[in-house]
């Protein structure tokens, strides 16, 4: 079975991939180099596995591989175990969801965690499920949130020191975001930490629930009235962990509702990054990327730990590319702002960042207050860039230890957005806003960018017609891998951006590739199946991609020995 040590060493041990992020830091960097800029032209598919015909929706899963078996999730909360040599199915598990589930952004799932003999994942009805790795039978199952109130799970959990750590989705329904830890073997809850100011955290000691401090100290400091009770800040993308500083890093989503005039104040801890103690769930530091968000700039994006040298000193840094269009480099020990810079071409809502990393707002680009309109029904519409789907959305970037660059899947788009009156109703959308997303360029929306976190410079970029919606991976072989909605798995020279390989998988790729080696050969896998938020929420952009075929397959490639 998988041990804590296996998970901590995941990046270095190339014979398997046992965690989301290909290592808890989430760098998605592999030290494998058999596949490189010379040899990648010989990469070829060895098998493809179908998730079945009836449930072809967005496939955002990152597979994991252990002892010759791949574990991968499919849309509608399904898990498949596949023999990696042959592509044969070993078992499948279907959560058989109730009709009333309320995911905001397609019926997706981003992958499993492994621990001992267990395969652990979250379902769209907000349950954590642990399956036996050999049989696919349920070993334990826990309810993380009430799906009837809009809670769901889409992220891959991680396992740190024997505990499964999970976030939660539901920010568009006025849920209260939280991070929770469960004993990986038994499913017994260990701690819970709400991510909205005013809510009590708890730890369980000898099975007893004990108060562990109110998040932010007390209610009402950065929220008016009772709005903190339905404040959103969903931790919907899950988290990363760095053993060096022994902290979990979770991002938090938009404050609820979207209409910011209803909630003057910073609205902590929405649209933030949090450093959390893995042992009891205490918030050790926070960094808010969009205080008083009015554009749905969720701050969930992954925070990736990396070290760099400056003036002879090693800086324990972490990088993150936000929906709001800024890339941030933070000190991961204390959350201090080191630097920040735009990583997209157009940002209208802020003029820049101050020396603490706080945005300097362009107030005329905040959607207006409906109360200021003649009939009170609609505030002044504005054009904001990036669109709410973000300079970067959920799709993970990667970091190369060789080039020192981040490989960021980003998008160039803007939106018309306006506010409307809204009040909270359990299980109903809680937005108070209307919007249309628009492309800014005829020939591309997606841009893969190689970004130097020390200078803020984009070293190279690759433009893509459709919005990019899948993650990247980088290897010692100087290759960056990424899929696109047009269906291609592509590889680029990590230093120059030169395109080195492409193969069409038959449906759009919105998943994230992995690589490992087996019997002296290097393998690459990626899930293919177009979907996610773009076709559902993309406004005018959704028209651009409306003819893309759906799917649901895992493709596995290798570089043959000879």
Ligand X SMILES: O=C(O)c1cc(C(=O)O)c2c(n1)C(=O)C(=O)c1cc(C(=O)O)[nH]c1-2
Residue 389 is a binding residue for ligand X (CB under 6 A): yes
Q: Supply the minimum distance, in Å, between the C-beta of residue 249 and ligand X.
A: 18
Judged by CB under 6 A, which stretch of 4-12, 78-86, 306-314, 389-397 contacts ligand X?
A: 389-397
Q: How many chain residues touch ligand X (CB under 6 A)?
A: 20
Residues 278-307 that bind Ca ion (CB under 5 A): 298
| Residue 486 labeled ligand binder | no
* Binding flags for ligand X, 518-547, as an x/- string (CB under 6 A): --------------xx--------------
Query: What are the backbone dihedrals phi and psi of residue 176, each rounded to the nearest 5 degrees, phi first?
Result: -110, 115
> Looking at 26, 253, 367, 552, which residue binds Ca ion (CB under 5 A)?
253
Residue 60 is a binding residue for ligand X (CB under 6 A): yes
Whether 140 and 186 have beta carbons less than 8 Å apart is answered as yes
Residue 393 is a binding residue for ligand X (CB under 6 A): yes
Q: Enumerate residues 6+ apart whose C-beta is below 8 A from 208.
A: none
| Residue 366 labeled ligand binder | no
Whether 165 and 191 have beta carbons less than 8 Å apart is answered as no
Residue 321 is a binding residue for ligand X (CB under 6 A): no
> Looking at 37, 254, 387, 400, which residue binds ligand X (CB under 6 A)?
254
β-strand partners of 240: 249
Q: For residue 543, what is the enclosing H or E element?
A: helix 540-544
The CA-CA-CA angle for residues 137, 143, 149, to 5°, reads 135
| Residue 301 labeled ligand binder | no
Whether 391 and 325 have beta carbons less than 8 Å apart is answered as yes
Q: Which of 562, 558, 477, 495 is nearest to 43 (CA)?
A: 558
Q: What is the full DSSP assignment across 472-541?
A: EEEETTTEEEEE-TTSEEEEEETTT--EEEEEE-SS---S--EEEEETTEEEEEEEE---SHHHHH-THH
Residues 396-415 that bind ligand X (CB under 6 A): none
| Residue closer to Ca ion, measured from CB, 298 or 486 | 298
Q: Which of 471, 494, 327 is nearest to 398 (CA)?
A: 471
Q: Enumerate residues 6+ apart whose C-beta is below 8 A from 226.
A: none
* Binding flags for ligand X, 223-242, as an x/- string (CB under 6 A): -----------x-x------
Greatest alpha-carbon pair distance for the chain in Å reads 74
Instruction: Kindly state the tokens that stand for 313.
Output: 């000193």
281: region left, alpha or beta (phi > 0 left; psi from -120 to 50 alpha) = left
Q: Supply the minimum distance, in Å, between the C-beta of residue 88 and ligand X.
A: 29
Residue 150 is a binding residue for Ca ion (CB under 5 A): no
| Residue 334 labeled ligand binder | no
Q: Please tell me the distance from the alpha carbon of residue 284 to that of residue 266, in angstroms, as a whole number.
A: 19
Whether 250 and 219 have beta carbons less than 8 Å apart is answered as no
Sheet containing 239-242: order of strands: 239-242, 247-251, 272-276, 283-288
Judged by CB under 6 A, which stretch of 44-52, 101-109, 198-206, 258-266 contacts ligand X?
A: 101-109
Q: Which of 10, 293, 296, 322 is catalytic?
A: 296
| Residue 393 labeled ligand binder | yes
Residue 106 is a binding residue for Ca ion (CB under 5 A): no
Residue 177 is a binding residue for Ca ion (CB under 5 A): no
The site partner of 158 among Ca ion, ligand X, none (C-beta below 5 to 8 Å per kind) is: none
| Residue closer to ligand X, measured from CB, 284 or 429 | 429
> Looking at 37, 169, 215, 270, which residue binds ligand X (CB under 6 A)?
169
Share in percent of the chain as helix, strand, coil (round to 5): 5, 40, 55
The site partner of 389 among ligand X, Ca ion, none (C-beta below 5 to 8 Å per kind) is: ligand X
| Residue closer to ligand X, measured from CB, 169 or 478 | 169
Residue 254 is a binding residue for Ca ion (CB under 5 A): yes
Residue 266 is a binding residue for Ca ion (CB under 5 A): no
Residue 120 is a binding residue for ligand X (CB under 6 A): no
Q: For residue 25, what is the enclosing H or E element?
A: none
| Residue 267 labeled ligand binder | no
Give CA separation, 385 vs 93, 213, 375, 391, 444, in Å: 41, 38, 28, 8, 16
| Residue 394 labeled ligand binder | yes
> Looking at 171, 251, 368, 531, which residue binds Ca ion (CB under 5 A)?
171
| Residue closer to ligand X, measured from CB, 192 or 475 | 192
Instruction: Kindly state the tokens that stand for 271.
Output: 């649209």
Q: How many chain residues touch Ca ion (CB under 5 A)?
A: 4
Q: For residue 294, what is the enclosing H or E element?
A: none
Annotated catalytic residue 10: no
**Helix or strand or coil: residue 166?**
strand
Q: Is 162 exposed, middle or buried (CB count within 10 Å of its CB: 0-12, 13-18, 19+)?
A: middle
The site partner of 394 among Ca ion, ligand X, none (C-beta below 5 to 8 Å per kind) is: ligand X
Residue 76 is a binding residue for ligand X (CB under 6 A): no
Q: Supply the minimum distance, in Å, between the C-beta of residue 252 and ligand X.
A: 9
| Residue 302 labeled ligand binder | no
Q: For residue 8, what is the enclosing H or E element?
A: helix 4-8
Q: Supply the minimum distance, in Å, between the C-beta of residue 291 and ligand X.
A: 17
Judged by CB under 6 A, which stretch of 1-9, 113-121, 129-137, 169-177 contacts ligand X?
A: 169-177
Binding residues for Ca(2+): 172, 254, 296
Which residues bind to Ca ion, rule: CB under 5 A? Answer: 171, 253-254, 298
Binding residues: 60, 110, 154, 172, 254, 296, 393-394
Binding residues for pyrroloquinoline quinone: 60, 110, 154, 393-394
The catalytic residue positions are: 296
Which residues bind to ligand X, rule: CB under 6 A? Answer: 60, 104-106, 108, 154, 169-172, 234, 236, 253-254, 298, 389, 393-394, 532-533
């Amino acid at each position: 079975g998988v041990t804590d040590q296996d998970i901590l060493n995941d990046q270095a041990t190339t014979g398997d991939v046992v965690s989301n992020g290909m290592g808890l830091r989430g760098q998605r960097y592999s030290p494998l180099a058999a596949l490189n800029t010379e040899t990648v032209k010989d990469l070829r598919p060895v098998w493809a596995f179908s998730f079945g015909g009836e449930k072809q929706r967005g496939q955002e899963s990152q597979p994991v591989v252990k002892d010759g078996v791949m574990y991968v999730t499919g849309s509608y909360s399904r898990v498949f175990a596949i023999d990696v040599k042959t592509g044969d199915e070993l078992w499948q598990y279907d959560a058989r969801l109730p009709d009333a589930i309320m995911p905001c952004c397609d019926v997706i799932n981003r992958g499993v965690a492994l621990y001992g003999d267990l395969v652990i994942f979250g379902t769209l009805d907000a349950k954590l499920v642990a399956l036996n790795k050999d049989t696919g039978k349920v070993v334990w199952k826990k309810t993380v949130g009430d799906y009837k109130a809009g809670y769901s799970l889409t992220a891959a959990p991680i396992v740190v020191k024997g505990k499964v750590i999970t976030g939660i989705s539901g920010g568009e329904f006025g849920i209260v975001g939280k991070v929770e830890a469960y004993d990986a073997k038994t499913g017994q809850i260990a701690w819970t930490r709400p991510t909205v100011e005013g809510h009590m955290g708890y730890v369980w000691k000898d099975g007893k629930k004990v108060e562990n401090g109110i998040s932010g100290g007390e209610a009402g400091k950065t929220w008016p009235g009772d709005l903190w009770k339905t404040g959103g800040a969903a931790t919907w993308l899950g988290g990363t962990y760095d053993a060096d500083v022994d902290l979990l890093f979770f991002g938090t989503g938009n404050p609820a509702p979207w209409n910011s005039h209803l909630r003057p104040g910073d609205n902590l801890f929405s649209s933030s990054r949090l450093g959390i103690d893995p042992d009891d769930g205490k918030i050790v530091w926070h960094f808010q990327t969009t205080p008083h968000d009015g554009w749905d700039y969720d701050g969930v994006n992954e925070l990736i730990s990396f070290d760099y040298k400056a003036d002879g000193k090693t800086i324990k840094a972490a990088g993150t590319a936000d929906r709001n269009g800024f890339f941030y480099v933070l000190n991961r020990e204390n959350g201090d702002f080191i630097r920040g810079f735009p990583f997209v071409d157009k940002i209208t809502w802020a003029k820049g960042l101050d020396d603490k990393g706080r945005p300097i707002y362009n107030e005329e680009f905040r959607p207006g207050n409906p109360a200021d309109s003649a009939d009170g029904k609609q505030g002044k519409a504005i054009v904001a860039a990036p669109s709410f789907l973000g300079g970067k959305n959920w799709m993970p970037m990667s970091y190369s230890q060789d080039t020192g660059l981040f490989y960021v899947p980003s998008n160039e788009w803007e939106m018309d957005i306006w506010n409307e009156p809204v009040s909270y109703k359990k299980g109903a959308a809680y937005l108070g806003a209307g919007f249309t997303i628009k492309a800014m360029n005829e020939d591309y929306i997606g841009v893969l960018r190689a970004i130097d976190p020390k200078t803020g410079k984009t070293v190279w970029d690759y433009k893509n017609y459709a919005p990019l919606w899948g993650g990247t991976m980088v290897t010692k072989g100087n290759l960056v891998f990424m899929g696109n909605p047009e269906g291609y798995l592509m590889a680029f020279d990590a230093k120059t951006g030169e395109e080195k390989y492409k193969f069409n998988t038959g449906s759009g790729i919105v998943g994230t590739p992995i690589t490992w080696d087996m019997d002296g050969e290097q393998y690459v896998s990626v899930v293919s199946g177009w979907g996610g938020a773009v076709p559902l929420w993309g406004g005018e952009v959704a028209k651009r991609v409306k003819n893309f075929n759906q799917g649901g397959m895992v493709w596995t490639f290798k570089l043959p020995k000879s």
